[in-house]
Structure 1
Amino acid sequence: MTRWLRWTAGIVLTGVPLLLAIAGPWLVDGSPTRKRAFSSGADHPLGTDFVGRDVWQQVLLGGRTVLLVALLATALAYVVAVPWGIAAALGRRRFVDELLMRPLDVVLALPSLLLLLLLATIAPSGSLTLVGIVALLNLPGLTRIVRAAALEIGSRPAVEAMRLQGEGWWRITVGYVARSMLRTLAADLGTRFTGALYLVASASFLGVGVPPDASDWAVMVDRNRPGLFVQPWAVIAPALLIVALSVGVNLLFDRVLAARSRSDLRGAAS
């Protein structure tokens, strides 16, 4: 696939679900009406869902929750994991690293879906709870990536030279170490957001954090499965949008990083 095709595919695959998620609720005309379940007709281009609501209306209404929760959970995971991983890597005492990283290893050892269900049973339901749970599930892996990158950067001669020159902690950790790992974090961001999107969709699919009849793409996939062979668009449309968003985000991040690498190589050669 050529560069132009990758850019185009990434923009289209990302843009369509984003546009529907952001602008969709404003495009819905009036309150949803209910008719016969899994039926079709001229006034319902994609048919009706398991409770007789128009599938196209549900597609327009169902993307905002999935997108917002995934974005907020990803952002929260980075806000916590970056200082956590840097502190573990640059701590002068071995016990600091052990104290910070061993609890995360326990979380990492548990299957994500099992932990998701366990946390959902003891936490209050709601979108904010789902944001916290998804962020927590992403925290161990992301913190380990940050720690590994910070260990490599912190062992460079430049860091030791900064310490000998009396540079402060903020200048070393934020001004140099955190800044030097931006490309590593950018490479991880696309995959991390896709993982968060998968967890949010799985949680919604399992009925965690959202009502069972909510206007939500993942809920649509779950609740409309009994009518898959009667009214397939009620399942296929939201599923395709979730997949398109995941693939499109990774394509765009891959192209941005590749373009940045080529630019750096040209700058080094000149």
Structure 2
Amino acid sequence: MRARRGAGVVLLAVPLLLALLGPWLAGAPEPRGVSFAPVPPLGTDFVGRDVWEQVLLGGRSVVAVAGLATLLAYAAGVPLGMTAALVRRRWVDELLMRPLDLLLAIPSLLLLILLAALFSPGPAALVVIVALIGLPEVVRISRAAALEASGSTAMEALRLQGETWWRRAIGYTGRSMLTTLVADVGVRLVGALYLVASASFLGVGLPPDAGDWAVMVDRNRTGMFLQPWAVLVPALLIVALSVGLNLTFDRAVRR
């Protein structure tokens, strides 16, 4: 168990530290050289830029977009899920949940392409798109957790004691949902990372020459056999971030 916890911390800490401190460590940009040249330490990329410099610069956008999209999805999804569960009106539940069920029926990559056509390219648009894709699942999980808490004997006791609806909904139900939501955050963050990486392969959100780990994997794959570090290093950092998130949140739930 200790080894698993330590592995999770290391896997999460390395990409996060590179994302946070990388732009300050990168320094002034180096002159461009030959594409896919095997010069130390990690060679050059598809336009001749130093790969190590791009690794230092490329983590912040991945972490920021995935983190902000997940936060936005929860900020909108948890209140909607609680409302659908706690407002005892069937029409409210139907009004909120049926449109979201339709979104769930559409594959995430197809929905990514459809939503991208409605927004101007850019990091802010990518945050909104990824948040909208994750919103239906957040609402459903929040609703399920709230329904379980609202049907408990403790909630009935609070009703009999004359507690206000707000105290029952926010005070008791909100606290009861925390374990479920914390367990789900790790999954949502990994899903957001997957969508951000997929968006780069589809040319959605960020410019094709942006300093971004996901963009690096996409744009440098043509030179995989000439200069593999330009693909392997950013890909491994994204994988480490995803696995580290899952291990860390899994450990937090077990406590």
2:167 partner letter: R
Residue in 2 that maps onto 1:249: 245
Give, in whole Å, the separation in 1 of the partners of 2:30 and 2:93.
54
Superposition CA RMSD, Å: 0.9
Please state how far the C-alpha of 1:164 moved relative to its aligned partner.
2.7
Please state how far the C-alpha of 1:161 moved relative to its aligned partner.
2.3
Give, in whole Å, the separation in 2 of the partners of 1:170 and 1:91.
11
Please state how far the C-alpha of 1:205 moved relative to its aligned partner.
2.3
1:71 partner letter: G
Residue in 1 that maps onto 2:42: 46
Identity score, percent: 66
Give, in whole Å, the separation in 2 of the partners of 1:152 and 1:256.
21
Match of residue 173, structure 2, among 158, 169, 177 = 177
Give, in whole Å, the separation in 2 of the partners of 1:35 and 1:194.
35
Residue in 2 that maps onto 1:21: 19
Residue in 1 that maps onto 2:158: 162
Give, in whole Å, the separation in 2 of the partners of 1:63 and 1:189.
20
Give, in whole Å, the separation in 1 of the partners of 2:46 and 2:5.
37
**How many equivalent pairs are there?**
255
Give unpaired runs (5+ residues) of structure 2: none
Secondary structure at 1:53 match in 2: coil
Note the 1:50-199 alignment, pairs <5 A: 50-199=46-195
Give unpaired runs (5+ residues) of structure 1: 261-270
1:239 aligns with 2:238: no
Please state how far the C-alpha of 1:128 moved relative to its aligned partner.
1.1
Give, in whole Å, the separation in 2 of the partners of 1:149 and 1:213.
43
Give, in whole Å, the separation in 1 of the partners of 2:165 and 2:194.
37
Give, in whole Å, the separation in 1 of the partners of 2:149 and 2:252.
23
Give, in whole Å, the separation in 1 of the partners of 2:253 and 2:161.
33
2:89 partner letter: R
Give, in whole Å, the separation in 2 of the partners of 1:218 and 1:51.
16
Q: Deviations over 1:151-189 (max 9, x none)?
A: 111011221222232222220111000111100001111
1:32 partner letter: E
Give, in whole Å, the separation in 1 of the partners of 2:224 and 2:212.
17
Residue in 2 that maps onto 1:37: 35
